[in-house]
Structure 1
Amino acid sequence: MLTQLTEMNAAVLYGQEDVRIERVPMPHPEKGEIVVEVQAALTCGTDLKTYRRGYHAKMLALPALFGHELAGVVEAVGAGVTRFAAGMRVVALNSAPCGKCFWCARQQENLCEDLLFNNGAYAEYIRIPARIVEKNTLVVPSHVPLEHAALTEPLACVVRGLEESGARPGDTISVIGAGPIGLMFIHAAALSGLRVIAVVKRPEQVESARLFGAEEIVRTTGTRDVIAAVRGFTEKGRGVDIAIDAAATPMTWQWAVDMVRRGGTVNFFGGCAVGTRVSLDTNRLHYNDITLKASFHHTPATCRRAFDLVVSGRFKCSEYITGRARLMELNSVFRKLMDRSNDIKTAIIP
């Protein structure tokens, strides 16, 4: 039982490529909080960037408990918690808005001025703050594997990205990048009735893009003109209705603008490194009436829509989780991901 334990194993990030599995104090729930025994924590592109760079300006201050995509079983509840009890299977999202600020009042909770983040998924147990318990913790049905439920957080970001782009059934969408988020965009768009053109780099990404619903594939290596190739898959070469950048480079941002049709929408979903500048053709933007968007994070509403998609069984969760490892293997997992392995997501099983 939790009350009998004083320490647990957890991953602690100290700096660039410096994650240590340590014995740390066991969390205990305060008022409104719960403690969850982690059953699955998924690797994430954000965690990989944080591991590689040694920091994340918004989510944590070093040294810090690490990881944010998880699902598990409630181990203990704090005073005042009535919706959850020990033994319940849950997915706890990595943040929750305040619900009171300027942005929350305008249904832009992802921009909340007091957005509360929670890290520490790569551990045996995790404490879930009261606000996340109240706003962004969901009960997982018995038929849904917990490692599948853990996909809710990244999928919620993708769902919001598609919604913010005005995606409609029948639209043609290009997705630049076939990493975990790019593949998730491909699959979510295909499930929403969009025709997907995937722009990928490596040969092994071709098969993955097709698996998740891409109808057409453009490989950047060996293609002389990526823009022309994408436009060639659209009627009269007019360009796509929506272009999503999930690669996060200045070049791919420019590609997205150039492959979208007149009156189309570009979503710069992939965040470039701090200080990056991009040159865009202002004449093309203005006279072609192009909408530029940049979607960040999720909201409680998109978390629930993503969760419903996972629970429905329509999303190919099993195919998306391509590896499993123990907590003690976390460093080797990240090193493998840095070497551009074929894995999409690895489930860390504490």
Structure 2
Amino acid sequence: MRAVVLYGKEDLRVEALPVPVPDAGEIVVRVGAALTCGTDLKVFRRGYHAMMLKPPIAFGHELAGTVHAIGSGVKNFKPDDRVVALNSAPCDVCYFCRRDQQNLCEDLLFNNGAYAEYLRIPARIVAKNTLFIPDDVRFEHAALTEPLACVVHGFEQSNARRGDTMIVIGAGPIGLMFIHVAALAGCHVIAVVKRKDQAVAAKGFGAAQTLQISDGLDVVAAARALTPDQRGADIVIEAVATPLTWEWAVDMVRKGGTVNFFGGPPSGTRVTLDTNRLHYGDITLKATFHHTPATCRTAFELITSGRLQSADFITSHAALADVPKVFAKMMVRSSKPGPPDIKTAIFTETKPEIELRGQNL
């Protein structure tokens, strides 16, 4: 089979590898569609991920497809079942799992290799985090489950309520998902973006107001001016991952509000925060990592119910052989007019519709 392998910093290669064979409790999935991801881009740029993968290793983690083969003992799945297999599963026995913090599991099992024709799914993920896809849901839409589950987790941990004002800083794929999830939940969303095309996209996903950053603009004051009585937002989501935007987030939130530092800057990054404002403003600072089986199912329901604008997140398509070129292009921000690139769907077949049962493309 063909698979994309990460060898190090900005070094992806399409190679011929053996088709995996499932062990007991495992399944092998024929990949119908895999999606590009900001995390994969960071790994491509850095050449590794301390928790999830070390090169050389098969690359990619957002996918959906059909069951190709099953290992002994697998009862819930059979060949040709349409499934989305998440990229991790918790142990459910460690200290953190027993405290309902499965995303922090001490033995969190990760799986990579989505940019391939076939992928072996470990038994724990088969048992705990593999879901059946309805026939009317496209593979590339089902593959949105993993990033959306992370966003759902962050949204739930921010304790948002219907009618809350939420500022989302950033309009990349994750920022746009936060905007959309919050809007679906009845929040008034203000998007803080860099470019006009991002403002248009944010509006399309449900932002009630947008603020485009420009030279000389006091971004914090301008953002607070859009909130009721200029008091600041009830919740601020930081989805950029820079020290400056972390500081903005704290200055944009109201007294008694919550900041969720969802974007993770590189290790060793330091920020400066006004401790007086934090203390006397009774501000909650929160950071959210990864997802749980429960948020995966919530995200999956948003997709399969049709509530999520799934098609709008897929802005381009590419063949498996083109994945190295796709990531090289993602390293350079495009200046072309039109909507922003959000996610690229990677197909192993020239005509992806052969994997879609009667669906119209």
Alpha-carbon separation, structure 1, partners of 2:301 and 2:42: 28
Q: Distance in 2 between matches of 1:136 and 1:58?
A: 19
Separation in 2 of the partners of 1:124 and 1:24? 10
- 1:65 partner letter: A
> Residues 5-44 of structure 1: matches in 2 within 5 Å?
8-44=1-37
Give the equivalent residue in structure 1 for 2:86.
93
Aligned counterpart for 1:76 among listed residues 62, 66, 69? 69
1:347 lines up with 2:352 in the alignment:
no
Q: What's the CA shift string for 1:210-264, capped at 9, x where partnerless?
A: 1101111111124611111111111111000000000000000000000000000
The one-letter amino acid paired with 2:341 is D
Shift of 1:203: 1.9
Give the CA deviation at 1:337: 1.5
Count of residue correspondences: 343
Q: Which amino acid aligns with 2:288?
A: S
Q: Greater shift after overlay, 332-341 or 285-294?
A: 332-341
Instruction: Supply the distance in 2 between the matched residues of 1:267 and 1:223 (Cα, whole angstroms).
Output: 26
Partner of 1:166: 159
Which residue, 286, 302, 324 being the options, matches 1:309? 302
Query: 3-state SS of the aligned residue for 1:103?
Result: helix
Aligned to 1:3: none
Match of 2:109 in 1: 116
Q: Secondary structure at the match of 1:143?
A: coil
**From 98, 118, 121, the counterpart of 1:128:** 121
Amino acid in the other structure paired with 2:196: P
Match of residue 352 from structure 2: none
Supply the distance in 2 between the matched residues of 1:331 and 1:108 (Cα, whole angstroms): 35
Q: Which amino acid aligns with 2:343?
A: K
In 2, Cα distance between equivalents of 1:338 and 1:315: 28
Q: For residues 217 and 84 of structure 2, what CA distance do their matches in structure 1 show?
A: 45
Residue ranges of structure 1 left out of the alignment (5+ in a row): 1-7
Q: Give the SS at the match of 1:60.
A: coil
Q: Distance in 1 between matches of 2:53 and 2:344?
A: 22
| Counterpart among 273, 290, 313 of residue 297 in structure 1 | 290
Aligned mate of 2:276, from 273, 283, 290 = 283
Question: C-alpha separation between the residues in 2 aligned to 1:345 and 1:49?
Answer: 15
Instruction: Return the alpha-carbon distance in structure 1 between the equivalents of residues 257 and 312 of structure 2.
Output: 31
Residue identity opposite 1:139 in structure 2: F
- Unaligned stretches of 5+ in structure 2? 335-339, 349-361
Deviation string 1:11-66 (CA, Å, 9 cap, x unpaired) is 00001110000001210000000000000000000000111111111101110000
- SS across alignment from 1:153: helix
In the alignment, the residues of structure 2 paired with residue 171 and residue 224 of structure 1 have an alpha-carbon distance, to the nearest angstrom, of 25
Q: 3-state DSSP class of the match of 1:277?
A: coil
Once superposed, which parts of structure 1, at least 4 consecutive aligned residues long, lie more than 4 Å away? none
Task: State the AA in 1 paired with 2:260.
Answer: N
Which of 220, 236, 256 is 1:243 aligned to?
A: 236
More off after superposition, 52-61 vs 125-134: 52-61
> Quick check: 1:50 aligned with 2:43?
yes
For residues 235 and 107 of structure 1, what CA distance do their matches in structure 2 show? Answer: 35
Is 2:152 aligned against 1:154? Answer: no
Determine the structure 1 residue equivalent to 2:203.
210
Cross-structure match for 1:196: 189
Aligned residue number for residue 233 of structure 1: 226
State the SS of the aligned residue for 1:310: helix
The secondary structure found in structure 2 opposite 1:134 is: helix
| Letter in structure 2 aligned against 1:335 | A
Whole-angstrom distance in 1 between the partners of 2:213 and 2:109? 38
Q: How does 1:101-112 map to 2 (within 5 A)?
A: 101-112=94-105
- Structure 2 CA distance for aligned equivalents of residues 61 and 339 of structure 1: 24
Q: What letter matches 2:138 in structure 1?
A: P
Question: What SS does structure 1 have at the residue aligned with 2:17?
Answer: strand
Change (3 A) 1:223 1:70: farther
3-state DSSP of counterpart to 1:314: coil
Percent of pairs identical after alignment? 66
1:327 to 320, 329, 339: 320
Partners of 1:322 and 1:338 lie apart in 2 by 17
Deviation at 1:348, TM superposition (A): 0.4
The 1-side partners of 2:265 and 2:172 are apart by: 15
1:55-100 deviation digits (Å, cap 9, x = unpaired) = 1111011100000000000000000000000000000000000000
RMSD value, Cα: 0.7
Q: Which residue of 2 aligns with 1:5?
A: none
Distance 2:280 2:143 in 1: 43
Under a length normalisation based on structure 2, what TM-score does the superposition of the two structures give? 0.94
